[in-house]
Structure 1
Amino acid sequence: MALIYFVTARLSLALLDPADGVAVFWPAGGVASGILIALGPAAQLPVVLGVAAATIAANLLGDRNIWSSLFFAVTNTSETVIVAGLIHRFCGSPFELNELRRVLALFAATGIATSISGLGGTAVFVLFHGSAASPAVIWFHWFSSASIGIIAVTPLAIGLASLARTPPPRWEVAEGVLALGVVSLVCALLAFLPNEPWTAVLAVGVLCPLLLWISARLRPAFTAIATFFCSTTIVWTTTFAIGIFGDPRLSIEERVLTAQATILAITLGALVLAALFSERRLHHDAILERESRLQDAWKSAQLADRAKSSFLAAASHDLRQPLQTLKLLQAALESHHSSGEARNLVAEIGKSLDTMTSILSSLLDVNKLESGNLRPSVSEFSLSEIFEPLARDFVASVQERGLRLCIVRSELIIRSDSRMLAEMIRNLLSNAVRYTDRGRILLGCRRVGDNVRIEVWDSGVGITEDQLPHIFDEYYQGTDGAKLGGFGLGLAIVKRLGEILDHRVEVRSIPGKGTRFFIEVPRGRSGVNVPEAASPVHLYNGAFLGSVLAIEDEASVRSALRRLLKERGVDATIVATETEALTLVKEQSLRPDVLLCDYNLRGSSDGIETVRRLRVALGRNVPTVMMTGDIRSQTMDLISAQGITVLIKPFQAEELLDALRGREKPVITESASPH
């Protein structure tokens, strides 16, 4: 570095301004600053020593004395240290010209350093060398020559270091060499063409597209090399008065100022343009990288979601099996304890099992909603088709709490998904029962234009104004939610199902007086055969007098089922596989009145196929009840299409007996007005 600095300094000293003794161009400062910026702070001491030694040697070989040479050495090393120090301080190391702020930082650091070194250089000239120029002129000449030298040469050193650290791909090297070759050719032509107006137009018309090409396509290092070629050509033609900058009609000072201004404009413009294109490429690459990471995160999330859904789907069956066993055993145990503390304990066990069942069902419902696999199957049907079964399901819990359940019978035809809508109303009724201590719960409907508003009223604790915005959030519980056994999923499911079905859901509540929930559904457009509503009847406790062939592959459920049916006096044959059942039918002439079959049977395609084969073997369409923990809509549709009654595990013992009887469990209803 010291050798390069010495050579460039000697060349510069040969171009002294005779008026003040300051070099017209000082590229030596650019050499030192560029190398120190490229190598980093660790190279500061060697660079300082090299600059000092080269400065002293170059000045002593001229007409300078030892003292002025020493002071010039201090001034030049200070300039180099200030430029590099400011860059390292505010931009870090390694330094590249790939951002606009870095380019502007280099020009700002150059201006600061040369302004300070100019003060020192002016003082040396005034103290040790007589000069006809004023100190202000000396300072300006020092500042301008040093600044242009740094601006012209420093980017070259920074660019070469950048290419050395990160070699470009072959295509970029080939394109860069081609582009720089064209720039060199143009610079050579400009040096030998005559100084005519058309020459300047040619220079602008050719160099601007070339620099734009290099800036847009290649790294900033190639732009720095191109601007160095241009700066060198300008200095050469100005010094030797040739080409477009060698106009003999202008004084040497005018030619120097023109050349300096041109170098500044070309270098600043080209480096800024290159930095902007580089930032664009960096941002583009960053966006692509982020998109790639997001895609990877999205794929991971999808895989995790599918894994979660698959797990919960499997868990739906596996978790329902032990719950079903416990429910059947609890029902069998209940018949042995008709009164006393043991009866109360059995009842408490039943309540706990109901809570576990409700939690499991809610979690699985939320999973179906979150996975996006739930698709509505819209049809037209009578409201009585969902009101009556819902009312039957809530009779026991309403009676247990000393409440009245009022059902407003209706033959209105609506358009919706019957299962999803029934689930929405079921959650609203469950919520009403949980939060009502006395009075009644009302389920009814009314016409609202082309829609039907289904309403669930209760006379419970109500909802405060501050809680209303949050009641549909998942896992949100009101003030008494935990105490009353809620777990914050029922209303969230209502909201999500309402969004899927495009049914508006609203709530009105007065704390201490009760709550009203509304679900608005469209009225049906076509005629539907509406069954007549059944008249109110008394609770039926008759025994099932027929015989049952049950197929259940889970040993614990099979054992509990056998115990329960035996306790209830049901003639039941219970086997584990389809093969055993077919053997009993074909070889032992078993002729059951009802088939009771699990849907997920090991060693069989599914329970539907098992029932089909048994019906073929029996030669008749035997009434069948299917037990399943698979609550997917497609499974329900497949089973229902065969005319088979479905029992969702875990079911109550009474639900099983009612299904075997082939009778609907009656409901306590009363006519009422929603007003």
Structure 2
Amino acid sequence: MQVSKRFLALLEQQLAQFTDRPDLLALVVYVAVPEPSGQPSLVAIGHWPQSLALSERAGERRNRPAEAGRRWLALRDDTMLLGALRVDADRWPWPESLSERLEATARCLTEALRLDLEQQRLGRELSQRDDQLRLLVHQLRNPLAALRTFGQLLRRRLDGDTRNLSLVDSLLGEQRQISRYVEAIDHLSEAPALVSGEASTPLLLPPALNQGSPQSLEQILTPLLERAAATANLQGRPWQAPTTLPSWEGEGSALSEILANLLENAFRYSCSGGAIGVACHQGDQLELSVWDSGPPIPEAERERIFAKGVRGSSGANLQGSGLGLALARDLARSLGGELELVVPASQLNPQLPAAGNAFRLTLPRSAAS
């Protein structure tokens, strides 16, 4: 069992504080190492004074007569033995002041060793998961490439069949989007980890998903509206798309992710067979709203559902992570806009349902990346 350099530095500091105790002959710290027999073996990892001639394993000194003042303080996490602190003194019992200091040192080393071993365990698990993730990403590229090939072959065979050709184009567009997600995941494993103690860190997508150059609103929304229309058709829902789209350009990947999450939530959580639609308006700002026909989200939940990991009562029994709305709001704010819930939807437009929910996204007239 290995310990980190940070723990060894702490260990050295803890032992060095006893230089003022002439009644101490030696201090040795051991860690418990599992043996094939199932019984732990104590292996020395630090000692004081530095000039002490130290045998590595505790058992190697069994044949020597123990000093009268030698005692062992267990470093134990509940019922698990982590190690031991061996104390060699010139007398026994120890003076009370020395006993208190030694017991405090043993408690400090126990907690530090527990945390050190836990960190190492988590590090090994993270490394294994990272290796598995890279493997899965690598393997995902093969079926994605096959989907692209089959889609292109099917498109060639359907040349001239405008009714079905658009469906194939939509499939190829979705394949390209999945490929972008795969590449972004691959880049994440190469990037250094960023640790932040702030609980309010925005939930944003990796920079690798950015399109790079601004896109028109029509370019951004067309594949999303086609996907929504197909979903509504399969679910037997009324669907209403905006008849015209204003002239607007901005960061396409962020806006696409916002609308995709809002539409997914609408289809997943609204009442079966209820109408769903997208409304669009441009004045001083661009307004895009995804609405449904009910039931309305309870008033007590209308702000909480934008928090990470929080889901409304209507979706409590459905699969989900509770990240969609949190991500959508953080992305909206990163573009200089805002995402809010409006209940009922008719507050936005009297022609919209008098019951139901509308998630309104407002963005500046220009939201280029």
How does the TM-score come out when normalised to structure 1? Answer: 0.29
Greater Rg by CA: 1
- Decide which structure has greater strand share: 2
- Decide which structure has greater helix share: 1
